[in-house]
Amino acid sequence: MAKSFVKQGDTVVVIAGKEKGKTAKVLEVSPKDNKVLLDGVNVVTKHQKPRSQQDKGGLIKKNAFMDASNVMVICPACGKATRVGHKEVDGKTVRVCKHSECGASLDKAYSKKVKKQTKAEKKADATVKAKKEVAKTTKEKKETTKVAKTTTKTAKKAPAKKAEKSKEE
């Protein structure tokens, strides 16, 4: 059985076709055919003939299946249309947002766990960056103090030599 990157209940945006730009909720997924059924998108009109006296005929509007390649999943955390990546959390493969700043889970059961991991990783990265910046500033301060000390030493020596030269003349 083929796997689909879209699951029932996801919010998606249509990226191709006559319904391009519309957002909708996924009602049904057919991974075998690589098709999705969206709420209020790709609505077709079916001409139905009455089969008995109780049935009414006429024009019936219904949702039609659309190819899954024409939709992109919207990340619930960042609100952007995203490609779907996979990450392993607690021994299970979870769908995640591929945006560089987000990385949140698209699966509802694991969304909090993945967010906490990414926040923890971000905090760790931020502390490492802060330590590097502090190290840089301390090195710069040391270098500037060294330069200042050498300039003050040379400045003190130079006037004394000039004074001695002026006395000799």
* pTM, entire model: 0.59
CATH number at residue 2: 2.30.30.30
Domain that holds residue 3: 1-47+59-74
Residue 81, in any domain of the structure:
no
Average pLDDT on 22-43 reads 93
Residue 65, in any domain of the structure:
yes
- State the average pLDDT for the chain: 80
User: What percent of the chain stands above pLDDT 90?
Assistant: 33
Residue 143, in any domain of the structure:
no
Structure confidence at residue 39 (pLDDT): 93
Average pLDDT on 127-134 reads 74
How many domains in the chain? 1
Residue 35, in any domain of the structure:
yes
d(CA 35, CA 44): 16
Residue 53, in any domain of the structure:
no
Residue 149, in any domain of the structure:
no
Structure confidence at residue 2 (pLDDT): 65
Structure confidence at residue 149 (pLDDT): 65
